[in-house]
Amino acid sequence: MIPNDIKITPDLIASHGLKPDEYERILELIGREPTFTELGIFSAMWNEHCSYKSSKKWLKTLPTEGPRVLQGPGENAGVVDIGDGQAVVFKMESHNHPSYIEPYQGAATGVGGILRDVFTMGARPVAAMNALRFGAPDHPRTRHLVSGVVSGVGGYGNSFGVPTVGGEVEFHARYNGNCLVNAFAAGLANSDAIFLSEAKGVGLPVVYLGAKTGRDGVGGATMASAEFDDTIEEKRPTVQVGDPFTEKCLLEACLELMETGAVIAIQDMGAAGLTCSAVEMGAKGGLGIELDLDKVPVREEQMSAYEMMLSESQERMLMVLRPEKEKEAEAIFRKWGLDFAIVGVTTDTLRFVVKHQGDIVADLPIKELGDEAPEYDRPWSEPKKRPVLAASEVAEPQNYAEALKTLVGNANGSSRRWVYEQYDTLIQGNTAASPGGDAGVIRVDGMRKGLAFSVDVTPRYCEADPLEGGKQAVAEVWRNLTAVGAEPLAATDNLNFGNPEKPEIMGQLVFCIKGIGEACRELDFPIVSGNVSLYNETHGEAILPTPAIGGVGLLPDVTVRAGAAFKQEGDAILLIGGTGEHLGASQYLADILGREDGAPPPVDLAAEKRRGTLVRQLIGAARLTAVHDISSGGLGVALAEMAMASGIGATVKLDGPAHAALFGEDQARYVVTTTEDKLEAVLEDILDAGIDVQQIGKTGGTDLTVEGILTISVANLKKAHEDWFPNYMATA
């Protein structure tokens, strides 16, 4: 057993991720040298992953309120009213570092953690998504990571029983040494039965629930707040091991217990395990917490206080319960085959006291541990603006048909079917739109209304111009929800960046947050939850700035929605929002010309709002037969995707330079189709709203033809689109 009186040395302090000045602050706070367990507790609470010490200042600038917001950031998940006494509870969180070290368990426990965040609030999980980013396809580790991560996401989510309805997978060499695994979950709850983590009342039992504590995940949160180097394999023990079947039992037991009125406060044991959950509950409620570790259910012998406090073993909860309901609560958990143990009590001392084998191993001020963690205003440098590329400065492809085929059939443009077919997308029986479209859609059980979900970000834009990239990430998600006909309600963010101690990286973070905030305010799309993952670097090379945005939208009637597939032959194809001009930082530039330069397309938020609102109105009135927003790859890729989804071809005519018109990624644009009999009225209404619209062609045939530029069979496109992923993974 690790003793508690280990000598505290500079090396030991550094190995706990604490800087010398932070250690000095600890000495000032407690007036003495910490015990080994106390050092571990400070390390867990003051790392980036738990305290947000580098990002807190900037996160406070984000809009978090709105007429539908019932609970914003600061709890396990955000909560938004969807009418009829119901609320949607959702959040996105990263599990990047563990997934790189141990792909299957890292990704699996990422899914488990986000599901717990949702049902901790009293919600039953109804939908999941994930945003995955890997290194270059030809990097020796990439296939291994893709295989392990996708298996882990599917293995846990499928076994638990929640449908995966959307997500994204991308490849880029900047993720070679640091893949990203961002997991999203949403659940449904009664809006008057939301459970929070704030402890209330003195002398109340603090109860440990769920699975037993082991040594897995000790130091996980600290590991996730540091860069990688050659010692990466040594960090494998810091990755937790998940059990989705235990989690399923935990869900049912928690929801059953919540109905009894026994729960005063509840917190899942995620990052930093028992330490973080106990401290957060006490600090939020202005109470002290006293824990007796001899009462903690353990699955390994001779566990020290340090290990028990810092273990991140999965499928565990901490609750404060009404004493009179203790026996009832215990009976419920025993019925579900789970541990139930009273491990502590709430106090009025504002101290966090931990006892083990008759000794006090920790006695710390609880507020300073939680609420008073360091908050830094780190130096940042403003990102340099890249020049705007005129279309004339960008070469045309030698063969337009081949260029389009490449864009829909390479690593980043190809079908993700190989991925999502490993996920259960239909379980619970309410899935209305599976992955592969603009947004996943589920029916709210027993109701006509539905919920739409999307996650997106374009890291190459964020690298080129963090402000515009941050705006675009929000706008893209908002557009994806709009394209199925859903009213965008609110968002969650997962901000993935490199080392914030470098001013240029901190500058990326600051300006991405500014862009996100600006877009959320303009689009009435508040951020209600989220996560920050920093230090995503290996050997000093940072990932691309990747502020992933997850959004939720509401459909009044799940049967009245749009899809991206062409519906039938003879429909008119309309382009809303003007001809493409912008090729800077585009997919075409990167994948066809091998260039990653130029400014990204600017985001006109007022235009986004005006055009999107109109598109939603047209969908709601059942006047459009297909809708698809234009994003990576421009109009050419959007048309190809609509054709491939249906097997129906199209003939279109475009103005302007052909490569810009086809592959320009100008924002706030949609491709829509309508029947011939509704065409005139639809065009009139769009023009009356002051919005640019052109009829560019008609659906029909088996080829996609752009007059004077290219003709390619839809079957040929689809083969390229569908083949890349299975062929790539077949050689794994």
Catalytic residues: 49, 95
| Residue whose tokens read 């429909």 | 571
Alpha-carbon span 603 to 531, nearest angstrom: 24
Q: In Å, how far are 211, 257, 330, 337, 622 from 334, measured between CA atoms?
A: 11, 12, 6, 5, 52
CB contact set of 680 (below 8 Å; sequence gap of 6+): none
Buried b (16+ CB within 10 A) or exposed e, 624-649: bbbbbbbbbbbbbbbbbbbbbbbebb
**Residue 372 buriedness (CB in 10 A; 0-12 / 13-18 / 19+):** middle
User: Do residues 498 and 505 lie in contact, with contact meaning Cβ atoms separated by under 8 Å?
Assistant: yes
Quote the DSSP letter at residue 723. H
Structure tokens at 130: 């994930």
Helix (H, G, I), strand (E, B) or coil at 265: strand
Residue of 493, 48, 512, 541 lying closest to 271 (CA atoms): 48
From the list 220, 317, 242, 255, the residue with the least C-alpha distance to 119 is 255
Q: Please, which residues bridge with residue 186 across strands? A: 90, 127
Q: Are 289 and 346 in contact (CB under 8 A)?
A: yes
With contact defined as beta carbons under 8 Å apart, do 519 and 525 qualify? Answer: yes
- Look at residues 551, 545, 544 and name the one whose alpha carbon lies nearest to residue 523: 551
Nearest to 376 by CA among 691, 686, 52: 52
**Residue 404 burial (10 A CB sphere; 0-12, 13-18, 19+):** buried
Neighbour tally for 292: CB within 10 Å: 17
Contact between 495 and 457 (Cβ < 8 Å):
no
CA angle 662, 668, 674 (to 5 degrees): 75
Exposure pattern of 474-501 as b/e (b: 16+ CB <10 Å)?
A: bbbbbbbbbbbbbbbbbbbbbbbbbbbe
Q: Is 731 helix (H, G, I), strand (E, B) or coil?
A: coil
- Residue 421: count other Cβ atoms within 10 Å of its Cβ: 13
Evaluate whether 422 touches 154 at the Cβ level (below 8 Å).
yes
Q: Would you call 493 helix, strand, or coil by DSSP?
A: strand
Phi, psi dihedral angles at 521 (to 5 degrees): -65, -45
The amino acid at 77: A
